[in-house]
Amino acid sequence: MHDVDILDDEIANTPYISKNDGQDDPLALFIAPRVDLSLQRLKHYCGTKSEHFQNYVLFTNYQFYIDEFVTLCKDMMTRTDDPDLKKQRMEYTSFVQPGDKVILNQNIDNHDEDEDAGLSLARLPQMPAYHLKRADGSGITMVNIGVGPSNAKTITDHVAVLRPHAWLMLGHCAGLRSSQRLGDYVLAHGYLREDQILDEFLPTSIPIPALAEIQQALEKAVAQVTGNEGYDLKKVMRTGTVATTDDRNWELKSYLTQNKRLSQSRAIALDMESGTIAANGFRFRVPYGTLLCVSDKPLHGQLKLPGMADSFYRERVEQHLKVGLLTMTLLRDLSPEKLHSRKLRSFDEPAFQ
């Protein structure tokens, strides 16, 4: 049984300032019962034990990304005689799917995990998680969080207790500028938070800063994967403010009502998760970032409709996912000390990990 009276995030929400009066300082951002609850919730929502989660986490709001990730990861687990490819694949020990179903890397002879562990689920959990594991925990976890800021808050509330080194949002967005094309990328450097889900804990008056290490890695990854540099890179990726709303049918509002604040904010894209994930990253001191792909332009008459959307997904998901995976590799090459930006730390608080 948990004492719900103490299950809060007071240390994280109200940054602790030492009074030097002999009182013990907090040892962590989360008290033990809160950690225990979140570990159990991760199993419930994601369908895998918390021990499988890796230090680099990708969030997406579309199953298309998960399907591509699963295909890529299963391929990495297969045996190869190519020495260069084998060396690359041996960086990862196993791939774990919902139900704690483990696929071992056939290029590694000795394993600590049991491939017979787990089972294939007949029905996926609400926010299924998939883990490309490394022996030191610095692999990549990908979670399909579904649509909306409530889901985004739920999953990041619980993943935060694991103290990951970074989490990124890879998803689709509405492009708000006439110069954008379907398939263009959006690199968020600011957020217009209209999601309302975190206002009680982190007022919208508090800015959510862009983190240089994350931004640089994302831009470098887009350049490498697309083969574009300099001005050509600007043609396929725009940097600016992303608006996050809690209204999926925001397009149904009158044009002037929906356009005014977006125009005032200079937003270049709109989605339903990115601002929430970034804000909770700031709140819980987890380095965060957002790279979205323009899938529709409602303000310019290009609505997301089934036929157009299916074609878009097939063409763009693979490249977008490659960018996300490469970004995590680049971030892993940085030491955690460099990655955990001082922008995330309050005046006096516990160590990150």
Q: Quick: pLDDT tens for 323-332.
A: 999 999 999 9
Q: Tell me, yes or no, whether 320 lies in a domain.
A: yes
How far apart CA 289 and CA 299 sit, in angstroms, is 25
pLDDT for the residue 257: 64
Q: Tell me, yes or no, whether 265 lies in a domain.
A: yes
Quick: pLDDT tens for 136-178: 999 999 999 999 999 999 999 999 999 999 999 999 988 888 8
Give me the number of domains the chain comprises.
1
From 64, 322, 341, 334, select the one nearest 185 (Cα to Cα): 322
Helix 149-159 × helix 274-283 angle, to 10°: 30
Q: Tell me, yes or no, whether 49 lies in a domain.
A: yes
How far apart CA 299 and CA 249 sit, in angstroms, is 13
pLDDT over 80 (residue 300) = no
Q: Tell me, yes or no, whether 200 lies in a domain.
A: yes
What is the span of the domain harbouring residue 243? 31-344
**CATH code for the domain in which residue 313 is found:** 3.40.50.1580
* Joined tokens for residue 126: 């609400």
Q: What letter represents residue 85's amino acid?
A: L
pLDDT for the residue 26: 76
Q: Tell me, yes or no, whether 46 lies in a domain.
A: yes
pLDDT over 60 (residue 307) = no
Q: Tell me, yes or no, whether 213 lies in a domain.
A: yes
User: Rounded to two decimals, what is the model's pTM?
Assistant: 0.90
Helix 32-46 × helix 149-159 angle, to 10°: 130
Burial bucket for residue 246 (CB in 10 Å: 0-12, 13-18, 19+): middle
**Contact yes or no for 186/242 (Cβ under 8 A):** yes
Q: Tell me, yes or no, whether 8 lies in a domain.
A: no
